[in-house]
Amino acid sequence: MDSDSLDWIWGDFNNSPNLAELIEEVEDDNNVLFDSNDDDKSDSSSESSFNNDCSLLIGDKRTALELNEIVNDINNQYDKTLSELDSTTDGELEDDNHKHVDLLYSDALEAVKTNLSDVELEWSNTLYEYTMNEKNVPESYTKTTSIEKLIILNANNFVEQFKIKYPNRRQLVLVLLNECGVQKCVCTTIKPSRLVYPNLRDLISYSEFVAKHITYIKLEDPVAVPNKIMSPTTTIEMQTANCFEIAILLVSFLIGCECNAFVVYGYATEIMCNNDLKKVKIDLEEYDPKKSDSENISEDLDDANSLEPKNDLCSEYVKFLIEEKQNKTVVKDEVKEIDFNDSSDSLFGKRVHAWVLIIPLQIEDENINEIPYFIEPSTGERKEISDENYTGVEAVWNHRNYWVNLQSPDGGCTQYNFTLTNTKCWENFLPDKPQSLRGETLDLKHNENTTSKHLVMPNSWVNVLEVPRNKYHMLYPSGKKVVTYMNAIKEFYADYIMPDGLIEKTTFFSDFEYVNKTFVTEIYKHRIDKLISVETKYTYKENETVEYFRSGRDDFLKTHTFNGDCNNIKIKRFVTFYNLRLDSMAELNIDDNSFITIFNDRSDLLFCRKCIFQQIEKNDCQNLNVKRKPTSIVEKYLRDESKHKDRDIATISFNLEFNSIYVQYQYGEGQITQSSRLFQKPTMTRNEEFDTKSVIEDIVYPYEGHLNTHEAYIMLKDMIEAEKEALRNVSKLEDDIIKMIEIRCRERIVFKLEIDSLDWDRNHGIRKLLQNEKDKKLALSKRDKAKQIDNSLPYHVIIKRLFEQDKNALNVREKIIQNFKQYTKKQFIRTKKLFITKQFKLQSMVKALETDRFKEVELKNKTLLLCSLLKNELNVLALRMERYNETRIERYNNLASYLNSYPDFKTLSPLKLCFQI
């Protein structure tokens, strides 16, 4: 099956329209670093089959022929574009000019961004015209029923009476036009609905989803209510909304999950109305992503050596003040500093805004009186009614009724009484009272007894809200969302969008021009290496990087802190491990000439080992695999209560430089000095009898006595064996550190993500495609076994195999570098080719929609959904190309640094590292 044709998309379109095909299509080469030449042939063959049989999607041969005619109209242009791309990249893979390579990447990215902007504009226009077309929407969107006409008549009468009674008040928002230009009551625009995705189940998850999924646009006139409001279905389709539309959408979801939610029409500050977070400052000291994100992913293991909690010295009055302060704070609020300068905004108090009000429901048999609170739909954050960003409320409504605020607008929202049944504070549009306002559970159905007595709000004219799986997995409108703060920039990505699993990146700056970076935190997900997040602190001397991992690695790595070049074993490094290692190692502190190891719960009571190495002259080439010679080893032990204190060893110091062993024993009760023994090891050149003067004893406890000759000889022999064992442990530890550094170097160069075997959306429907790809790669590997490099092996194994073919170290190193450059460029160019293919496919489908050749509405909707899928794939490919360009120099530097530190290449001049501007 052709992996890049529309056949496999359309063939599985009805079952699972998702991004799994695209993910697997781009990521199938991530496990192979060095591609063979035959891969280009396979890619070109897949790209050549652009002309597809559209009958797989359409089902009608006549309509499929018409669609194929449209596809053929632009097929020549497509072939011409790909041929130009091949001609510009075939001869550039062997070029070592970094400036020329940078120009290749930058030009390709600019071209892709330009094409993507054109596609965005064309797609948005087509989608808007298609959505506004009366032929493609249900009848309820274009017509009004008799009950709706009666409600609109009463609403207009209510508005006129309100204007007469309150002439100085702003006109009410009760009846507005929908996207088809038909008058609808705003209450009937709310459609209580629930989505079928397991992650969406409560108020918080729906609020965050709407804020991420919908792009917020400010009102054209900041002091006026818009004349037209889109329905929630159109908002989901367009993924853009103003404050009223996004509030209606969120309330529809919240009522669907049984929350007592209302749309609020009122006034807010400029920051809130424009969603301008550039005036918001994030406090770096309180920003700790690993506490909120990594704790949900990582497994918290008990620390055996953790200190017992101290006595609580806090007074009851201080506790009362702390609890009172916590009750007044916002649950989730990233705003740390806001400039509330009213004089700077000439429209303060007049800017129209819409948000969400939550009035908690009373639980039966429980006397719980929770205060109401707000939710800002544009950010998904909870706000208290005392928030100064909200300056006043005109009215609130849900799917059952409409209430006008009769309270004084001065003084903000803190003074308001949100008991909607209080007729002195609120004027209701309809006379009936919803069940939710009488203190009972929320009722989403009509009350038949009430409808016979009073006029009730009709059912919503909006269709049930649905979000296709492909849009849900994209999460953000284009797979990416950027939020700019006063001192930081946050970037959000959907799962599996970025090739390295990046889902969130926050960059802090020291200036308002966003030039000088001070701190960067990156959060990852679905990494095979179990990487959770990376924090980088930028200083004048050298950068400090901290990596966090969840449990499950073979080396049980938990955190990894280092300064500067990670591939240099002599740099300052601090490593922590999960409590699952057989050697019980918990911490490792590495300096330029020493190792300090901390252990937990060892049977021999060893808790610390320090090793000092011999100083090596500094040179440009840091040999990674060259071990250093230790000069001294110090081991410290915990107290063993079963032994006498003069027989219980506390510290053993192996001085390899002076050929001596110094043993210190534990402190006794009430003593300030330790007993000790100094052993002078005999030389290997002389074969003499044991010298009693080689043991110097300093015994504090007089009744213990000194060692006799035999005991001193036996103990010296034991200490020599302990020294050999310590040297073996230090050598093994150094091997483990070198292996860990090598593995981390490789994990930074090659991106690998894991997909859960139970993830139906990303595994179902593509197994046949994956099997075909595996069969193709297996055939290529058998045919080109002599040429192809098995890159799943560690680097030192690959280098060893290359040396078997060629003894010249320079040729081996050049081959590795050239293969890496070819792979990175092929990866980038292959993604660009795939982008061009998807672009032409989308343009062909859009042209088919514009020609109006499809007569059936269901067929049009099906084609529109396919176009939406292709549009999401274009956004993903563009983001991947940006990430490849951002990380290519870092990946090259990691490889070059590793090769410079490899012993077999130490005779060669070190490779120069690239610096990205």
What pLDDT, on a 0 to 100 scale, did the predictor assign at position 678?
87
Q: What gap in Å lies between CA 760 and CA 550, rounded to an integer?
A: 24
| Res 374 pLDDT > 90 | yes
Confidence of residue 242 (pLDDT cuts 50, 70, 90): very high
| Residue closest to 193 by CA, chosen among 462, 469, 474, 473 | 462
Q: How far is residue 870's CA from residue 865's CA, in Å, rounded to a whole number?
A: 9
Q: What pLDDT digit, counting tens, does each position of 571-630 carry? A: 888 999 998 888 889 999 988 888 899 999 888 899 999 999 887 665 544 455 567 888
Triad 674, 676, 678: Cα angle to 5°: 155
Task: Provide the pLDDT for residue 338.
Answer: 45
What pLDDT, on a 0 to 100 scale, did the predictor assign at position 38? 37
At residue 128, the pLDDT reads 64
pLDDT at 123: 61
Residue 888 CB contacts under 8 Å (≥ 6 apart), including other chains? 105, 824, 828
Q: What is the rounded average pLDDT of the residues 431-460?
A: 56
Among 113-122, 240-249, 646-655, top mean pLDDT goes to 240-249
pLDDT confidence of residue 250: 95
Rounded Cα gap, residues 225 and 223, in angstroms: 7
Q: At what angle do helices 857-901 and 20-27 cross, to 10 degrees?
A: 30
Residue 727 or 540, more confident: 727
Q: How confident is the model at residue 172 (pLDDT cuts 50, 70, 90)?
A: confident
Report the alpha-carbon distance of residue 753 to residue 524 in Å, rounded. Answer: 10
Query: Is the model's pLDDT at 19 over the cut of 50?
Result: no
Q: Using the predicted structure, report yes or no on whether residue 756 has a pLDDT greater than 50.
A: yes
> Would you state the pLDDT for residue 841?
80
What is the pLDDT, as a whole number, of residue 327? 54
Q: What percent of the chain has pLDDT over 90?
A: 20
Handedness of CA 549, 550, 554, 556 (dihedral sign): positive
Mean pLDDT in residue range 248-271: 92
Q: What's the alpha-carbon Rg for the chain, to the nearest Å? A: 35
pLDDT of residue 376: 93
pTM: 0.66
852: left (phi over 0), alpha (psi -120 to 50) or beta: left
Mean pLDDT of the chain: 75
- Residue 251's pLDDT band, with cuts at 50, 70 and 90, is very high
Secondary structure, 3-state, 535-585: EEECCCCCCEEEEEECCCCCCCEEEEEEECCCCCCCCCEEEEECCCCCCCE
Q: Poorest-confidence range of 129-133, 169-173, 867-871?
A: 129-133
pLDDT at 855: 58
The region of weakest confidence among 198-202, 207-211, 406-410 is 406-410
- Amino acid 46: pLDDT: 35
Residues contacting 285, CB < 8 A, separation 6+ = none
Question: If you count DSSP H runs as helices and E runs as strands, how many of each does the chain have, helices first?
Answer: 25, 27
Q: What is the mean pLDDT of residues 395-413?
A: 87
Give the rounded percent of residues in the chain with a pLDDT score beyond 70: 68
How far apart CA 210 and CA 249 sit, in angstroms, is: 8
pLDDT at 301: 34
Give the range among 210-219, 433-442, 647-656, 725-734 with minimum mean pLDDT.
433-442
Q: Give 389 or 367, the one with higher predicted confidence.
A: 389
Treating both helix axes as pointing N-terminal to C-terminal, what angle do 98-132 and 809-850 enclose, rounded to 10 degrees? 20
pLDDT of 189: 93
Q: Is the pLDDT assigned to residue 365 strictly greater than 90?
A: no
pLDDT in tens, 660-713: 889 888 887 777 788 888 888 877 545 556 666 777 777 766 656 677 778 788
Most confident of 433-437, 636-640, 794-798, 814-818: 636-640
Which has more pLDDT, 330 or 494?
494
The yes-or-no verdict on residue 829 having pLDDT over 60 is yes
Place of tokens 């979000």: 467
Which of 349-363, 372-386, 695-709, 802-816 has the largest mean confidence? Answer: 372-386
Question: pLDDT tens digits, residue range 774-806?
Answer: 777 777 766 555 444 544 456 667 777 777 777
Strand ranges inside 135-256, DSSP E: 175-177, 183-185, 215-216, 240-241
Higher pLDDT, 808 or 177: 177
One-letter amino acid at 353 equals: H
Confidence of residue 310 (pLDDT cuts 50, 70, 90): very low
Longest dimension (CA), the chain: 119
pLDDT of 306 > 70? The answer is no
261 band by pLDDT with thresholds 50, 70 and 90: very high
pLDDT of 831 higher than 90: no
* Residue 393 pLDDT: 92
